[in-house]
């Protein structure tokens, strides 16, 4: 398969790349490196990416920015970071990408454990992750027959614990290689409308 991997330079993206590249052609996309560049906050940038890449069999997103901060100091602008980037960035990958995936293509988006297990300073991440999961489940029942959409919801990633450990006390970290199995399941399987939780 021809797989478009957005966020390929990130920790999870590298894990997904290592998992899928022995079996598939990977087109790597990120903000500033890879085979093609894309800014998820910019619909024109997303469309330009698809125009450059052409038809693909799978779109995998392992990226998305949110703001972590004390709820007492959160405001609309801080919530908008996650809404515009991780939420609508991934939704627009699907809305625009529908015209660039093969007849039996798939989309795989990324959420995270905070949708179900919130932490201090994580209200934006919890909100956005929950919204993405709702979108995936609903979009799946209305997609063109043959197209699939799923999300992967990993726990905190082992390789990212240096920066996140103070917020995830008591959590069992997930190696990026294990999280990548959820993406392989979505890309290479037949299920749709699922949230694959990797904890």
Q: What is the separation, in whole angstroms, between the first and last Cα of the chain?
A: 27
Please check whether residue 41 is in contact with residue 63, taking contact to mean a CB–CB distance below 8 angstroms: no
* DSSP label of 198: E
pLDDT of residue 97: 98
Per-residue model confidence as pLDDT tens digits over 123-181: 999 999 999 999 999 999 999 999 999 999 999 999 999 988 888 989 999 999 999 99
Output the CA torsion sign for 128, 191, 139, 55.
positive
Q: pTM of the prediction? A: 0.97
pLDDT score for 164:
86
- State how far the Cα of 13 lies from the Cα of 44, in Å rounded to an integer: 23
SS3 of residue 89 by DSSP: helix
- From the list 61, 49, 117, 121, the residue with the least C-alpha distance to 87 is 61
What pLDDT does residue 166 have? Answer: 86
Low-confidence residues of the chain, pLDDT below 50? Answer: none
Output the CA–CA distances (angstroms, integers) from residue 91 to 109, 123, 133, in the order listed. Answer: 9, 20, 11
**Distance from C-alpha of 30 to C-alpha of 9, rounded to nearest angstrom:** 7
Q: Residue 109's beta-bridge partner residues?
A: 151
Q: Residue 190: left if φ>0, alpha if ψ -120 to 50, beta else—which one?
A: alpha
Strands (E), the chain: 2-6, 25-30, 36-37, 56-61, 101-110, 148-154, 195-198
Query: Tell me, what's the pLDDT at 155?
Result: 96
SS3 sequence of 50-76: HHHHCCEEEEEECCCCCCCCCHHHCCH
CA distances, 136 to each of 9, 87, 91, 163 (Å): 24, 11, 9, 29
Q: What structural domains and CATH numbers belong to the chain?
A: 2-197 (3.40.50.720)
């Amino acid at each position: 398969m021809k797989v478009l991997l957005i966020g390929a330079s990130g920790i999870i993206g590298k894990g997904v790349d290592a998992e899928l590249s022995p079996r598939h052609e990977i087109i790597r996309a990120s903000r500033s490196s890879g085979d093609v560049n894309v800014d998820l906050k910019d619909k024109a940038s997303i469309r330009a990416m698809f125009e450059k890449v052409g038809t693909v069999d799978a779109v995998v997103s392992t990226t998305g920015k949110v703001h972590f901060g004390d709820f007492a100091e959160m405001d609309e602008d801080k919530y908008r970071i996650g809404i515009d980037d991780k939420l609508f960035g991934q939704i627009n990958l699907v809305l625009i990408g529908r015209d660039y995936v093969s007849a039996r293509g798939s989309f795989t988006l990324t959420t995270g454990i905070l949708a179900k297990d919130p932490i201090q300073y994580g209200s934006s991440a919890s909100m956005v992750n929950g919204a993405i999961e709702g979108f995936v489940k609903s979009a799946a029942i209305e997609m063109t027959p043959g197209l699939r959409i799923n999300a992967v919801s990993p726990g905190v990633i082992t390789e990212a614990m240096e920066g996140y450990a103070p917020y995830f006390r008591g959590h069992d970290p997930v190696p990026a290689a294990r999280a990548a199995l959820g993406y392989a399941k979505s890309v290479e399987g037949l299920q749709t409308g699922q949230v694959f939780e990797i904890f």
